[in-house]
Chains A and B, each alone.
Chain A
Amino acid sequence: MAKTKVLERKPLTFAEKTFLPQIVSGLKTTFGTMMQKGVTLQYPEERPNIPDNYRGVPTLVKDPNGREKCVSCQLCEFVCPPKAIRITPGEIDAEAEPDRAHVEKAPQEFEINMLRCIYCGLCQEVCPEEAIYLQDVFSLSGYSRGEMINKKEKLYELGGTLPDQHGKWDKKKAAEQAGNAH
């Protein structure tokens, strides 16, 4: 048990009884605070520094070559606790990307209902293609419920392009050119 130390309580001195020295020291404190530089962030003009691992609005990203990374495996849809994600799988346009067409799929429509999303980040964690990221967007607003459902275009617009460590398609192409495609 901790040893308690009883402090002797001295009777107040005359100066202390008048309150005046205390008031003066209080005034000094407040004046000191007044002279300090403020810490307020002027929000709409100044934005806070968002750390890299911040979990903001979920977004879809493209790889550095502008390909969609999402292959509509629907894992995020299954894992999403509040069931905010809805994916309609679709084919890749064969004319635009002959390499990828009939090999992978792409979402025909990808919806994240931001009224349901709880920003848990499970979709990012579960995604095998590293296609969905919770990035630094933290203020989201809309005038209707419909506006709060992020469609595919909006998700790609928010997500942009992130650097890709794996370069899956580049490696495949390099392997093809070296003669061992599979």
Chain B
Amino acid sequence: MELLDASLPYLLPIVYALAMISVFMGLCSYSVLAERKVSSWIQGRVGPNRTRLPLLGHIPILGNFLTRLGIFQPAADGLKFLFKEEIVPGHVNKFYYMLAPVVALAPALTTMVVLPFGRYVDVDGITQPLVLANVDLGMLIILGISSLGVYGIVLAGWASNSKYPFLGGIRASAQMISYELAMGLALLPVFMWAAFPGSDYGMSLFGAVQSQQTLWLFIWQPLSALIFLVALFAETNRLPFDMAESETDLVGGFHTEYGCFKFGLFFVAEYAHVIMGSALFVLLFLGGWNFLPGLADPWGDGLIGTLLSVAWFTAKVFAMIFFFIWMRWTLPRFRYDQVMSLGWKILLPLAVGNLVFNTIIIALYDTFTR
């Protein structure tokens, strides 16, 4: 018993982390399903509706409904990747070839450490975030680590030792570099407003959410939101910016030479990035777990209130994921040079202008209200 008490402070974080990882991976696999379903609905198709688990799939009415919805499909997808023959082409650099999928997935999973997903009221009556590690520089950590994800893609492209993956890797890195700037600059006004002098929160994401209790940032910082959203699409390598894959001209892009579970890891990493991006956008611009603009926190202090805040946050994230998917099946791909010119010639100047504009507004506000 004493041993348990003594080891609890060390054990609990591990348990929390494992729980979060499993929820997150579950979300990843189900966003793959969402992608398949939504794409098929948009294209007038039906989508996966045959996979059926024994027992669960044979409950009279519910089982049929779940099967039609494709609920059991992710299990089949995952197992398929697991049981396929591991083929390593002869011309690749084996070490880096194996390393690349891991490097692609790890950053996406690491960033969730600082991602708050709800709030609770502690014994002193202070609102606290539900988060694995509540650090003051949460946003910086996310920006720093998530941009490491591109190394996975570059590594994959390079290690594959073949033309198409190489081109995909090069494109991905160029694209990431050009959109990272606009993304960071679009975020600065948010934190300039959120972390005003004397605020307790600094650059933590929790602070950004708490500052949106009256008005969501999306409403009064639409330009920042737009730039951030576009950059987010580019960062996650999703259509209309999926330069790294671009099936039409690069076969499979960076994962052309990958099969079975290694491809599965890339696949999961892409959706992990999408979920992280959605969660980030919800936290920064859509008010996180705040209910509606003007009506921030109608939930109580207790456990139910906490759960409701988590549920509301999750619902918003799902809506954002849907938006990502919806966008993908609506827009065609940009040409590579268009992506570059959009990033450097339009988004970057816009973001700089937005930053300067907000700085002036804040300066004027500070001068005239004191």
Q: Which of B35-43, B95-103, B184-192 contacts A (4 or more CB under 8 A)?
A: B35-43
How far in angstroms is the closest Cβ of chain A from B278? 17
- What CA separation (Å) do A34 and B45 show in the bound complex? 9
Q: Does residue B331 face the partner (Cβ distance < 8 Å to A)?
A: yes
- Which residue in A30, A36, A38 is a CB contact (below 8 Å) of B326? A30
The interface bits of chain A over 4-34 (1 if a CB of B lies within 8 angstroms of the residue's CB, else 0) are 0000000000000000000100110111011
Query: B residues 37-58 with Cβ under 8 Å of A?
Result: 38, 41-46
Does B329 lie at the interface of the complex (its beta carbon under 8 Å from any beta carbon of A)? yes
Residue of A nearest to B240 (CB): A23
**A103 at the binding interface (Cβ < 8 Å):** no
Chain A positions within 8 Å of B127 at CB level: none
Question: A39–B45 Cα gap in the complex (Å)?
Answer: 7
Q: Do A34 and B46 touch (CB < 8 A)?
A: no
Is residue B22 within 8 Å, beta carbon to beta carbon, of the partner chain? Answer: no
Q: Report yes or no: A40 in contact with B326, Cβ–Cβ below 8 A.
A: no
Say which size band chain A's interface belongs to.
10 to 19
- The docked-state distance in angstroms from the alpha carbon of A31 to that of B43 is 10
Proximity string of chain A (31-74) to chain B, C-beta cutoff 8 Å, 1 when within and 0 when not: 10110101110100000000000000000000000000000000
Per-residue CB contact flags for chain B residues 318-334 toward chain A (1 = under 8 Å, else 0) read 00000000110111000
Query: Cβ of A30 and Cβ of B42 under 8 Å apart?
Result: yes
Residue pair B330, A30 in contact (C-beta under 8 Å):
yes
Q: Are B330 and A26 in contact (CB under 8 A)?
A: yes
Q: Which of A23, A26, A27, A33 contacts B43 (CB 8 A)?
A: A33
- Shortest B245–chain A CB gap in Å is 20
A29 CA / B44 CA spacing, docked (Å): 12
Give the CA-CA distance A40 to B327 in the complex, in Å: 24
CA distance A26 to B43 in the complex (A): 13
Please state if B326 and A31 are interface contacts (CB–CB under 8 Å). Answer: yes
Are A36 and B44 neighbours in the complex by a CB distance under 8 Å? yes
| Chain A residues, CB < 8 A from B38 | 34
* Interchain CB contact under 8 A, B42 and A33: yes
Known contacts A23-B331, A26-B331, A30-B326; is A38 also within 8 Å of B46 by CB?
A: yes
Name the residue of chain A whose CB is nearest to the CB of B41.
A34
Q: In the complex, what residue of chain B is closest to A42 when comparing beta carbons?
A: B46
Expressed in whole angstroms, the Cα–Cα distance for A30 and B326 within the complex equals 8
Contact present for B327 and A33 (CB under 8 Å):
no
Is A30 a contact partner of B45 (Cβ separation < 8 A)? no
Q: A34-B38, A34-B41 known; A29 and B330 CB under 8 Å?
A: yes
Complex CA–CA separation, A23 to B323 (angstroms): 13
Closest to A25 in B: B330
- Tell me the B270-305 residues at the A interface (CB within 8 Å): none
CA separation between A31 and B42, bound complex, in Å?
A: 7
CB pair A38–B330 under 8 Å, yes or no, is no
Which B residues are in CB contact (< 8 Å) with A39?
Answer: 44
Q: Report the bound CA distance from A23 to B326 in whole Å.
A: 11
What are 5 residue pairs bridging A and B, where the CB atoms are less than 8 Å apart in the complex? A26-B330, A26-B331, A27-B327, A38-B44, A42-B46
**Smallest CB-CB A-B distances: 10 pairs:** A34-B41, A30-B330, A40-B46, A26-B330, A30-B42, A34-B42, A27-B330, A33-B42, A38-B46, A30-B329
B interface residues with partner A (beta carbon < 8 Å): 38, 41-46, 326-327, 329-331
List 10 additional A-B contacts (Cβ < 8 Å) besides A30-B326, A38-B45, A38-B46: A26-B330, A26-B331, A27-B330, A30-B42, A33-B41, A34-B38, A34-B42, A39-B44, A40-B44, A40-B46
